[in-house]
Structure 1
Amino acid sequence: MRAVVFDQFGPPDVLRLAELPDPSAGPGQLRVRVQAAGVQPFDVGVRTGTMPWVQAAFPQQIGQEYAGIVDQVGEGVTGWAEGDEVLGSTMLNAVAEYVVVPAENAVRKPAELDFPSAAALVAASQTASGALLELKVAAGETLLVHAAAGSVGTIAVQLARLAGATVVGTAGPANHDYLRTLGALPVAYGDGLVERVRAVAPQGVDVALDAAGRGAIAASVELVADRDRIGTIVDDAAAAEYGTRVVRAGRSPQRLAEVVALAAAGKIVLPVRAYSVDDVVAAHEAVESGHGRGKVVVTL
């Protein structure tokens, strides 16, 4: 099978296409022919070697999010058949022609979603929904989302709005109209952020979710009274410094399925920036830049 690998830590151009042996589905597993795979900041960290707790074995595969078609069903698996369309999480092997996954972790792909849109939802849905649960965002409250135009921010804004919260979202000016379409009150990040948030949310801010880093936690502690209701998914050091939360709810096929159902019903949208697997270096460059809206995916 064709798969994206890297032989040393480094910039995006360490990635290359390689021929690897085809995997087979064992007991309790599905083999999926991948149609699209998400690219996320976690992948950048793995590729650059800045996540020492992730063990790499060169040539190392990459990718955590897949959408594709079941083409092999392992022994003892029920409820799945060859030809079923699925999506889900995996670990360091999604950007490949085939991926083998535990059957219980796969989520059925609705016909209303194409494969790139389905792959795009995998990590953002689980991260955003889990963070909102941990931070106990409720109807009538005001949530501040840092990096609201990114994939996690986009999902978090919409889930919070569906839950009845008011949402303030930080983004560059080019994405302010986009945030308005999601139902958020946009503000520009950077110097003066606290004052701009107070101007659009005079009622105050109850809870904050940081998907940006770069001083977002420092600004949030000036706006949110309860530091236990400030969470970050990207800045562990700032969380430790200010006594706020790191929110990592973990993977949940059930939570993923719930958001996927909302997307299939048109209640959640997530713009997709799709790259061919032959352009995987450009896809990683796009994610590493930290700019752009929505989600980067690689199509196979």
Structure 2
Amino acid sequence: MSRRVEYNRFGGPEVLEIVHVEPPHPAAGEVRVRVLATGINPFDAKVFRGMPTSNPQSVQFPVGNGADFAGVIDELGEGVTAVGVGDTVMGSRMYFAQADFVVIGSDEVSPVPAGMTIEQAGSLDTAGRTAWASVESLHLSPDDVVLVSAAAGGVGVIAVQLAKRTGATVIGSAGASNHEFLKNLGVIPVEYGVGLADAVRAIAPQGITAALDNFGHGFVEVALELGAPAARVNTIADYEAPEKYGVGAIGAAGANIDDLRKLAQLIADGDVEFPIDSVFPLERVGHAYDRLLAGHLRGKIVLVTQ
């Protein structure tokens, strides 16, 4: 028998359970990955809490949890030749990742490059694709001043560094405990919440030209107030803002597997930092989401299976 995270009702992290199931096996064109690390994302919590934005009506109980994973291929389906048993790979499969095994199409996994830890690889896919696509959507240049919310979080910490690589001036909102960290990345930190607009004006009196919202809670309104055109604001956290203000909502689907591989290599080479906030064993999945929901993260939270 193998383990997987599952839930049978909506609620807080307490609804997540470890259940024992028959190990899956790959069909033609698929591989089975022995999962070593699996990241957690805010979207997961929206789904198991039954929030309207997650379309809970589509969830059929019991349902698994998590999307991102990394591990070692231990079984091949018929016709698979591009990868082999023993290859260390990463990928994403919604509702299936937090488990001992994931079965997935052989063309949906990427090799983990040398220099990247298994914890980084297991938590990169969703956050990495989201950061890559959202930054690309703004077409930044050295003439830009871009404001990024949740700048030390899983998506934000990658986004600010990709934005810096375009030559843009990057201002990042985060809790005070992460300000020194952001400075070391070349980002100008500001405190989030009340007073954000004034804090940004003190740094950029001319206003901003673009914004990336990873936080919600009125950030889009602040970005527009500071002068960013709606066409150069992207949010992954404010589900009403695209229709209300005409801002973008480019997420992980906006980046492909080649983009992910480029980003993974940047991280492996040390050109982009990808910090791991904390690591929990699979059995403590509820505690991991408690940590996520408490906020003030620096990078990603990861579950490990061994």
User: What range is the shorter-chain TM-score in?
Assistant: over 0.9
Q: CA deviation at 1:104?
A: 1.0
**So what's the TM-score if we normalise by structure 2?**
0.94
Distance 1:249 1:125, change over 3 A: closer
In the alignment, is the contact (CA less than 8 A) between 1:224 and 1:230 conserved in 2?
Answer: no
What RMSD, in angstroms, separates the aligned Cα atoms of the two structures? 1.4
Whether the aligned pair in 2 keeps the contact of 1:15 and 1:280 (CA below 8 Å) is yes
Change (3 A) 1:42 1:151: same
Match of residue 213, structure 2, among 210, 214, 217: 210
Between the aligned partners of 2:110 and 2:141, the Cα distance in structure 1 is: 27
Secondary structure of the residue aligned to 1:245 is: coil
CA distance in 2, matches of 1:76, 1:159: 38
- CA distance in 1 between counterparts of 2:260 and 2:227 reads 29
| Deviation, structure 1 residue 224 | 2.8
Give deviations 1:54-79, integer Å, cap 9, x for gaps: 72222211011000000111112222
Moved more, 51-60 or 265-274: 51-60
CA offsets 1:232-263 (integer angstroms, 9 cap, x no match): 00101133222322222505211111110000
Structure 1 residue aligned with 2:249, among 246, 249, 256? Answer: 246
Tell which deviates more after alignment, 26-35 or 195-204: 195-204
**Contact 1:208 1:220 survives alignment (8 Å):** yes
Q: Is the 8 A contact 1:154 1:182 kept in 2?
A: no
For 1:5-27, what per-residue CA distance to the aligned partner results, in whole angstroms no more than 9, with x for missing partners? 11111110111111111111111
> When the two structures are superposed, what TM-score results if normalisation uses the length of structure 1?
0.96
- SS at structure 1 position matched to 2:123: helix
Residue identity in the other structure for 2:258: Q
Alignment of 1:174-193 (within 5 A): 174-193=177-196
Deviation at 1:178, TM superposition (A): 1.0
Matched residue type, 1:35 = L
Runs (4+) of structure 1 exceeding 4 A deviation are none
Asked whether the equivalents of residues 127 and 252 of structure 2 are also in contact (C-alpha less than 8 Å), the reply is: no
Is the contact made by 1:144 and 1:167 (CA closer than 8 Å) also made in structure 2?
yes
CA contact (8 A) 1:150 1:295 kept: yes
Distance in 1 of aligned mates of 2:264 and 2:292: 22
What's the CA shift for 1:91?
1.3
Asked whether the equivalents of residues 3 and 61 of structure 1 are also in contact (C-alpha less than 8 Å), the reply is yes
Q: Tell which deviates more after alignment, 200-209 or 79-88.
A: 200-209
Which whole-Å CA distance do the structure 2 matches of 1:291 and 1:241 have between them? 28
* Aligned twin of 1:128: 131
Structure 2 counterpart of 1:52: 55
Instruction: Please show how residues 1-300 of structure 1 align to structure 2 within 5 Å.
Output: 1-50=2-51, 51-52=54-55, 55-250=58-253, 252-272=256-276, 273-300=278-305
> Is the 8 Å Cα contact of residues 146 and 209 (structure 2) preserved in structure 1?
yes
Residue identity opposite 1:86 in structure 2: V
**Higher mean C-alpha displacement, 56-65 vs 28-37:** 56-65
Residue 203 of structure 1: CA displacement?
Answer: 4.5
**CA distance in 1 between partners of 2:42 and 2:18 (Å):** 20
Kept in 2, the 8 Å contact 1:88–1:253? The answer is no
Following superposition, the deviation at residue 169 of structure 1 comes to: 0.1
How far 1:201 moved relative to its partner? Answer: 2.1
1:29-80 deviations in Å (ceiling 9; x for gaps): 1110000001001110111111126722222110110000001111122220
**Structure 1 segments unaligned to the other structure (5+ residues):** none
Given residue 275 of structure 2, which amino acid in structure 1 is its aligned partner?
P
How far apart are the structure 2 equivalents of 1:149 and 1:249?
A: 18
Q: Which moved more, 1:184-193 or 1:288-297?
A: 288-297
1:208 touches 1:224 (CA, 8 Å); kept in 2?
Answer: no
State the identity as a percent.
39
Shift of 1:118: 1.0
Structure 2 Cα separation of the partners of residues 83 and 199 of structure 1: 54
